[in-house]
Structure 1
Amino acid sequence: MKKKVTIIIPAFNEVENIIPIFNKIEDVFFTLNYNWDVLFIDDGSSDSTLDVFSKLSDKSNFKFISLSRNFGKDEAIKAGLDHVDADIIITMDADLQHPPTLIPEMINKWEEGYQVIYAYRNGNNPHVSYFNKLFSSLFWKLLSKLSGLKLEEGISDFRLLDKKVVLVLKSLDEYGIFLRGMVKWVGFRQIGIQYVPDERLFGETTYSKKALLKLAIYGITSFSTKPLYAAIYLGFIFSTLSLLYIPYIIISMCYNLEVPGWSSTIMTIVFFGGLQLIMLGVIGVYIGKMFMQSKNRPNYIIQSNNL
């Protein structure tokens, strides 16, 4: 009996890319001896993505889920994972930068016994500037260091998951899920594959530096309490440094030296006030996540589907 492969593709305003990526996947599986289908997740698109879905609805290999609003990429993928029943599940982006030609290599690794095969970008990506490469490198190193997970530089949402791994991911009901970290955290037999991203043909990326910063905060606070310990360490360090100011005060009092006042005092207050706000912000992120988790709201809401 043929094994079944389901490919999950989240889409947010990717109307021009839907048909091209479906056709490329269809070409790949033409030479593979597997049953397959593609499950698109419309993550609250404001363009005519749903109209394109209707054009593909006559194809037996085409499935879709439409969410009631934009919940986020990871939440959209989670919606797909929760509604698939296949031996192999592959997640990838809709922007054509994840090359479908890599799918046969992933499946071969699965046949060798690997249960998670994830793709990470080659450092020689010709489609990004040197500055963006440097920013990306620092981003992933910081995220790996603080989250406690080994995340390769440029690790992506292009991955193959065995059905056993998907069953575990289905059972997780976590607010603000960070799948790149979660897939690493669950374990199983994993291997990475390098790839060079294809150039985006249509549309513009929705991943800005602000979005990457938000991703880093989600990733770090989802898997580590190191920022809280950093707040404690900083408190001890600056409390100790403040003791060095005591000899200066004593000498000034003994020799009737004029104590310079206003500017240094204001600078000190502003510095420590800002530091306290940062630490309160770190604590607030953790408390906020606990608050949202306690509400037990769903990660997504399905508006329509053809499953």
Structure 2
Amino acid sequence: MTSNAHLAADSGPSTELTLLIPCFNEQCVLAQFHARLLNAVEQLNITFEVLYINDGSQDDTAAIIDQFSLDPRIRSLHLNRNFGKEAAMRAGINEAQGRAVIILDCDLQDPPELVPLMVQEWRKGFEIVNMQRRSRHGDSWHKRVTARCYYAAMDQLIDGFDVPREVSDFRLIGPNALAAIRAMDDNAGVLKILVSWLGYPTTEVNYDRKPRQAGQTKWSTLSLLNLGADSILAFSTRPLRLYSYVSGISFLLGSLWIAGVATFGEPTYQHLLMQAILLLCLGTAVVGEYVARVLAIISPRPNSLCKREQP
């Protein structure tokens, strides 16, 4: 990873807000987005920086954001190749110098004009401000259906905390949550689920998702499936536990049935083979339970987080 970072004049401990913008092949919309973003943020009485993360773009995105960086309030960070949005956001969080971070896409589906409202909610005392889609007029039928399936799966398969529906990466993350995320390595899990797992005071603000202004979506069906799988595998052992229950019950019922056959009839080779298969399934479930325990032990996430320290 190489960095082309121009340090802002007001960056450092006094910077209150970092606007973190992951970019991948967004040359067509960057100028419009940048103008609208600055117009929105400059109305706030707050010190800020804008941090563009170029995620290995192959168009003129890198040159455009470097030109933006001539403004001392703007910085750019260039990744060696396209590592994906999750990696770009984590790189930006580690690089950000503001006390709080707002993540938003530059395709203008997440309106920059909502930034002042997010800051207002933060000043009320909320550590996390999630922007919750009230409508998805800019998304295709396929994208809306896959999103519903994703959030339904999160509801069923993740224990211990709630994952708000229709909330993507468009959010404000406050100082305490940022410190907690930075204390974990990059394998701590999908950021949108990790933020919910933290448990800090959170609010949702509804908004209407706008159509993409230019360019094409970077989310394919395969990438959406990968996001769902990563979200579940990083934060839930429920699928494995369900398999263990099914294996145990199947083994018990199968053993009772074969015992009945042995008592009132003559067991066959097929009966013995079925018992062996059931025993194999049960053994696989037991091994899986131990694997899940090992994953929990080596997880970069701590067992708990303190709301505040003892004064």
Conserved 8 A contact 1:97-1:199: yes
Give the CA deviation at 1:42.
1.0
Contact 2:131 2:167 in 1 (8 A): yes
Name the CA distance, whole Å, in 2 between partners of 1:14 and 1:57: 16
d(CA) in 1 for partners of 2:141 and 2:233? 29
1:224 counterpart residue number: 236
1:145 deviates by 2.5
- What's the RMSD between the two structures over aligned residues? 3.8
1:111 and 2:123 equivalent? yes
Residues 49 and 130 of structure 1: CA distance in aligned 2, closer, same or farther (over 3 Å): closer
1:233–1:32: structure 2 CA closer, same or farther, 3 Å change rule?
A: same
Look up the equivalent residue of 1:146 and give its one-letter code: L
Aligned equivalent of 1:55? 67
Within 5 Å, give how 1:105-254 maps onto structure 2.
105-122=117-134, 124-130=135-141, 132-148=143-159, 149-175=161-187, 177-240=189-252, 242-243=254-255, 246=258
- Return the structure number with greater relative CO, CA threshold 8 A, min gap 6: 1
Query: C-alpha separation between the residues in 1 aligned to 2:67 and 2:127?
Result: 34
Structure 2 vs 1, CA of residues 96 and 286 (structure 1 numbering), >3 Å: closer, same or farther? farther
Shift of 1:241: 5.0
**Are the equivalent residues in 2 in contact too, given 1:118–1:193 (CA < 8 A)?**
yes
Q: In the TM superposition, what is the alpha-carbon distance from 1:210 to its structure 2 partner? A: 2.0
Q: Deviations over 1:248-285 (max 9, x none)?
A: 9779977xxxx9x9xxxxxx9xx99xx99x979x8899
2:46 match: 34
Contact map agreement 1:22 1:38 (CA 8 A) in 2: no
Q: Give the whole-Å Cα distance in 2 for the aligned partners of 1:214 and 1:289.
A: 19
Does 1:73 pair with 2:88? no
Rounded Cα–Cα distance in structure 1 between residues aligned with 2:190 and 2:289: 19
1:46 and 2:45 correspond: no
CA distance in 2, matches of 1:46, 1:144: 37
State the TM-score, normalized to the length of structure 2. Answer: 0.76
Contact kept in structure 2, 1:221 and 1:286, CA below 8 Å: no
Percent identical: 26
Q: TM-score, normalised by structure 1?
A: 0.77
Note if contact 2:137-2:210 (Cα within 8 Å) is conserved in structure 1.
Answer: no
1:78 CA displacement: 1.1
Q: Distance between the aligned counterparts of 1:287 and 1:205, measured in 2?
A: 38
The one-letter amino acid of 2:178's match is: V
Give the secondary-structure state (helix, strand or coil) at the position aligned to 2:136: coil
1:90 positional shift: 0.6
CA distance in 2, matches of 1:99, 1:31: 15
Asked if structure 2 preserves the Cα contact closer than 8 Å seen for 1:37 and 1:63, the reply is yes
Partner of 1:102: 114
Amino acid at match of 1:84: A
Unaligned runs of 5+ in 2: 1-9, 301-311
Separation in 1, partners of 2:26, 2:292: 33
Contact 2:53 2:79 in 1 (8 A): yes
**Partners in 2 of 1:84 and 1:198 — Cα distance?**
27
Query: Do the aligned partners of 1:147 and 1:221 also contact (CA within 8 Å) in 2?
Result: no
Q: Distance in 2 between matches of 1:186 and 1:176?
A: 11
- In structure 2, the CA distance between the partners of 1:174 and 1:80, relative to structure 1 (3 Å rule), is closer
Query: Equivalents in 1 of 2:67, 2:45: separation in Å?
Result: 26
Report the more deviating stretch, 244-253 or 151-160.
244-253
Larger mean CA deviation between 221-230 and 132-141 belongs to 132-141
- Structure 1 counterpart of 2:184, one-letter code: L
Deviations 1:80-117 (A, max 9, x none): 11112213311111221111111111111111111110
Q: Which amino acid aligns with 1:128?
A: D
Residue 143 of structure 1: how far off its partner (Å): 1.3
CA change 1:83–1:146 in 2 (3 A) is same
CA distance in 2, matches of 1:75, 1:285: 26
